[in-house]
Amino acid sequence: MVFIKRAFFALAAMLFTIQVAPTASPPAIAAEKMPPFVTVVSPIFGQLVAFSQPSDFVIGLENVNGSNYIREAIPSGETVEDWTQMVTVTGFKQLALQPQAEPVAITSAIANGYKNFCPDLFAVMPVPPPDVDGFKSFAAVVGCGTVTGNGSPRREETLIIAIEGESDYYTIQWATRGPASDKPPAFDKAAWEKRRADLSPIRLCRIVPGESAPYPSCVRR
């Protein structure tokens, strides 16, 4: 997501079962359906970050650049250059220790970076923030009616959730693309609130020494 990435850096198993058919037919192997969402837990700087994402999404990019972390996941078969949806998690090391840092300010900084690419076709819509174990958070949807670069003109809309951790800041973002428009996006509020709910539960947990993936201390709560 080139627009969010630029703002970000500027800001500082499938299971199978065997089913036995009637005696006239040989046994058939069928794939058990995956749940629509799976829990993702990652150590990002000082804490574990856990949230839900669509089960068919795969990691397309992961990078740590000093005090900045970013990971992008897209539907299987798509790429970080050519995608229809993308879920991004970012981390800003020790940013929560800065007195001026607030979830609304972090969200606004990312939104303003987004707006630079479509000042006349930009829109924003606050949405109720999720409950993140008592940590402060803020959420909004931003979008451009038309953006260009890295492909043909298109519409982009992104849910941004900013969370203040114990010492670090985190964002979780869900972006979608659609046909370009000559007007600012008219957000489907119910659809975006559902996406926000689908990312839940969102948790920030303390890192347990010696614990490894899948980090049960942050899931079984």
pLDDT at position 114: 86
pLDDT at position 35: 87
pLDDT at position 109: 94
Q: Is residue 67 included in any domain, yes or no?
A: yes
Terminal-to-terminal C-alpha distance of the chain = 32
Q: Is residue 29 included in any domain, yes or no?
A: no
What's the CA gap between 76 and 55, in Å, rounded?
A: 9
Range with lowest mean pLDDT among 63-67, 145-149, 178-182: 145-149
What's the CA gap between 152 and 211, in Å, rounded?
A: 45
Q: Is residue 152 included in any domain, yes or no?
A: yes
CATH number at residue 46: 3.40.1000.10
Q: What is the pLDDT of residues 178-215, one digit of tens each?
A: 999 999 999 999 999 999 999 999 999 999 999 999 99
Instruction: With H, G, I as helix, E, B as strand and everything else as coil, classify residue 48.
Output: strand
Instruction: With H, G, I as helix, E, B as strand and everything else as coil, classify residue 81.
Output: coil
Task: State the total domains in the chain.
Answer: 1
Q: Is residue 175 included in any domain, yes or no?
A: yes
Q: What is the pLDDT of residues 12-49, one digit of tens each?
A: 422 222 222 333 434 444 446 778 999 999 999 999 99
Which range marks the domain in which residue 63 is found? 2-11+35-206+213-218
What's the CA gap between 65 and 67, in Å, rounded?
A: 6
Percent of the chain with pLDDT over 70: 85
Length of the chain: 221
What's the CA gap between 50 and 201, in Å, rounded?
A: 8
Q: What is the largest CA-CA distance in the chain?
A: 73
Q: What is the pLDDT of residues 85-127, one digit of tens each?
A: 999 999 999 999 999 999 999 999 999 988 998 999 999 999 9
Tokens read off for 166: 């114990």
For helices 103-115 and 2-10, the axis angle rounded to 10 degrees is 130
Q: Is residue 25 included in any domain, yes or no?
A: no
What's the CA gap between 195 and 199, in Å, rounded?
A: 6
Q: Is residue 60 included in any domain, yes or no?
A: yes
If you write DSSP's letter for every residue of 66-83 in order, what string do you get? TTEEEEEEEETT--SSS-
pLDDT at position 221: 54
- State phi, psi for 6 to the nearest 5 degrees: -65, -40
pLDDT at position 112: 94
Q: What's the whole-number mean pLDDT along residues 63-91?
A: 97
Write down the pTM of the prediction.
Answer: 0.84
Q: Is residue 141 included in any domain, yes or no?
A: yes
Instruction: Flag whether pLDDT at 220 surpasses 70.
Output: no
Residue with tokens 């969102």: 202
Q: Is residue 62 included in any domain, yes or no?
A: yes
